[in-house]
């Protein structure tokens, strides 16, 4: 999901016509004194440390990473490291839903706390949750829950949004999970069924990395920076002290969840996943190389984008790209200046390939409306553009660039076939100016070579290739069927009109 205002908020905002008035309404959220805490250093005798020790000895001062392109693999990997935790779990997410997979992850987190593991849960406050339930969870002596940049108005959030828009428009979009200071998972996924191939109506094609080695400590430090920031408010400061969940209620909850698992077709399919055997036998085929963590500072809530390191770091990466750029972004809004820079680079000889959502697969049609305004320039300049399909006849094999009923959600860039960026940063004004973001850059030509070996086949099956016809009009080509479309494929007239109208509104910087 796009890390912007939920659609109903956006509609209310547009109807109120308050852009100019609201822009000056920024307020700060007062913070009561709270405990400062930091990541617990890795224990060499812990289960996870012993598990990965032989690999770390063979690859000193490097990062090992395993790609989580499949949603079910991404779910199992999270459960596996949480279940193995002995000392600490730090989880940081923009969205943490109340559905099947989120509930199971919550159960694993709570069971870890019962084993004596310290659990710190940091959530952005854009998603509405039950404050009392969170306070009760945080009443456990080993669990702390903090909300980042919370709404003051807890019950009618739209009122708080209108009165305090400039502050609440800025969100923490970072996503990380670190366990025992040994394993980390970072990338594009939030916590919810649609991110883990568990929702039959929609699936976000996404991409994470399961990581060990040198990169884990910087990710833990990044978490601490946000956790101890004034904008991270303990749930008890908003709700009051919760009540520890009674043992009988907890036992009943566990029983209900195990029953859900036992009767769920989704969990039945997990049992045969190859990653399970790899985790059991310590045969996860990690790729090894140098890696670096990029992340915004929490001060981005109030500081202009020029002062935030991640944007400059990504810009520097792009500036040093000489031959080829593969850009995968679900919400691609390059702005006029960005589109012109990409167009110039293409005309100067760089091969640029962009993979993004089609109008039909995009869950925020306003984003598509503004992206569509830049397509013509890019295509005329030789940029290769592919848009993901929504097609029930596509193979059910899931991938990070699309499958049946999929909306692309991965944010991944490959530079000169040598460096790979995986993270939360969309190529849009919101990621650049308003949301805090993070990502990992790994140097791994071997892994990138394997990506390119599979890329053409995946693009042919799951995307439309955009070209210009003899009249310079955009045509969408389905390489699988050789069918051509002269208007946005799979999109209704109303959806096309909505996107077009959004492209006329002065909202590009909000997207």
- Of these residues, 72, 373, 411, 461, which one is catalytic? 411
**Calpha distance 309→298 (Å, rounded):** 11
- Of these residues, 87, 140, 175, 398, which one is catalytic? 175
Q: pLDDT value at position 457?
A: 87
| Residues in the chain, total | 511
Q: Which two tokens stand for residue 230?
A: 């004034």
**Calpha distance 449→447 (Å, rounded):** 5
Residue 442: how many CB atoms within 10 A of its CB?
24
Q: List the chain residues with pLDDT less than 50.
A: 4-28, 392-404
Per-residue pLDDT tens over the stretch 394-438? 444 444 444 445 788 999 999 999 999 999 999 999 999 899 999
**Calpha distance 498→511 (Å, rounded):** 15
Burial status of residue 395 (CB atoms within 10 A of its CB: 0-12, 13-18, 19 or more): exposed
Give the domain 7-26+37-281 fold. Answer: Endonuclease; Chain A (3.30.870)
Instruction: Judge whether 468 and 380 are in contact, CB under 8 Å.
Output: yes
Distances (CA, A) of 360 to 74, 81, 381: 25, 36, 25
Q: pLDDT value at position 357?
A: 94
Quick check: is 173 catalytic?
Answer: yes
- Of these residues, 90, 164, 180, 296, which one is catalytic? 180
Alpha helices in 240-296 (DSSP H): 247-262, 265-270, 274-281
Residues 6+ apart with CB under 8 A from 54: none
User: What's the pTM value of the predicted model, to 2 decimals?
Assistant: 0.91
Q: pLDDT value at position 391?
A: 57
**Calpha distance 440→232 (Å, rounded):** 23
- Of these residues, 72, 87, 409, 461, which one is catalytic? 409
- Of these residues, 72, 87, 173, 300, which one is catalytic? 173
63-68/118-124 β-pairing:
unpaired
Instruction: Judge whether 122 and 99 are in contact, CB under 8 Å.
Output: no
Q: pLDDT value at position 3?
A: 56
Q: In which region does residue 122 sit, left (phi positive, over 0), alpha (psi from -120 to 50) or beta (all else)? A: beta
Query: Tokens 């890329």 label which residue?
Result: 455
How do the domains of the chain map onto residue ranges?
Answer: 7-26+37-281, 291-510
Q: Three-state SS for 291?
A: strand
Quick check: is 290 catalytic?
Answer: no
Q: pLDDT value at position 306?
A: 59
Quick check: is 409 catalytic?
Answer: yes
Quick check: is 416 catalytic?
Answer: yes
**Calpha distance 142→144 (Å, rounded):** 7
Q: pLDDT value at position 183?
A: 98
Residue 260: how many CB atoms within 10 A of its CB?
14
Q: What is the domain class of 291-510 according to CATH? A: alpha beta
């Amino acid at each position: 999901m796009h890390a912007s205002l939920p659609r109903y908020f956006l509609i209310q905002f547009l109807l109120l016509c308050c852009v100019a008035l609201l822009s000056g309404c920024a307020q700060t959220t007062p913070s009561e004194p709270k405990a400062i805490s930091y990541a617990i250093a890795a224990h060499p005798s812990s289960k996870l440390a012993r598990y990965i020790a032989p690999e770390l000895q063979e690859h000193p001062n490097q990062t090992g990473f395993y790609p989580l392109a499949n949603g079910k693999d991404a779910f199992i990997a999270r459960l596996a490291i949480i279940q193995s935790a002995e000392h600490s779990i730090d989880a940081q997410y923009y969205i943490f839903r109340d559905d099947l997979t989120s509930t199971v992850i919550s159960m694993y987190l709570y069971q870890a706390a019962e084993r004596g593991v310290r659990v710190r849960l940091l959530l952005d406050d854009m998603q509405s949750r039950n404050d009392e339930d969170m306070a009760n969870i945080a009443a456990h002596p080993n669990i702390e829950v903090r909300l980042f940049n919370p709404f003051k108005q807890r019950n009618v959030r739209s009122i708080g949004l209108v009165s305090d828009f400039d502050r609440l428009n800025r969100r923490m979009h970072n996503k990380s999970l670190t366990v025992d200071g040994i394993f980390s998972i970072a990338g594009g996924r939030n916590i919810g069924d649609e991110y883990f191939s568990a929702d039959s109506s929609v699936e976000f094609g996404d991409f994470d990395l399961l990581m060990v080695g040198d990169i884990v400590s910087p990710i833990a430090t990044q978490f601490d920076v946000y956790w101890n920031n004034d904008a991270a408010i303990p749930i008890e400061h908003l709700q009051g002290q919760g009540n520890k969940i009674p043992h009988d209620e907890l036992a009943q909850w566990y029983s209900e969840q195990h029953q859900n698992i036992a009767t769920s077709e989704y969990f039945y399919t997990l049992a045969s996943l190859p990653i399970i055997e790899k985790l059991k036998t310590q045969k996860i085929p990690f790729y090894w190389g140098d890696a670096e963590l990029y992340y915004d500072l929490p001060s981005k809530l109030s500081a202009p984008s020029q002062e935030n390191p991640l944007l400059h770091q990504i810009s520097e990466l792009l500036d040093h790209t000489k031959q080829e750029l593969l850009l995968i972004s679900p919400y691609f809004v390059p702005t006029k200046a960005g589109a012109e820079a990409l167009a110039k680079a293409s005309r100067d000889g760089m091969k640029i390939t962009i993979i993004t959502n089609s109008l039909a697969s995009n869950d925020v049609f306003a984003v598509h409306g503004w992206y569509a305004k830049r397509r013509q320039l890019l295509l005329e300049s030789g940029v290769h553009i592919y848009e993901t399909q929504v097609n029930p006849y596509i193979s059910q094999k899931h991938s990070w660039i699309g499958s049946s009923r999929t909306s692309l959600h991965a944010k991944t860039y490959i530079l000169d076939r040598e460096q790979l960026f995986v993270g939360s940063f969309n190529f849009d004004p919101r990621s650049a100016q308003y949301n805090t973001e993070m990502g990992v850059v790994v140097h791994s030509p071997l892994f990138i070579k394997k990506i390119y070996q599979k890329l053409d086949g995946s693009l042919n099956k799951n995307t439309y290739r955009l070209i210009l016809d003899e009249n310079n009009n955009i045509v969408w080509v389905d390489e699988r069927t050789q069918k051509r479309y002269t208007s946005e494929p799979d999109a209704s007239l109303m959806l096309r009109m909505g996107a077009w109208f959004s492209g006329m509104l002065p909202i590009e910087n909000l997207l």
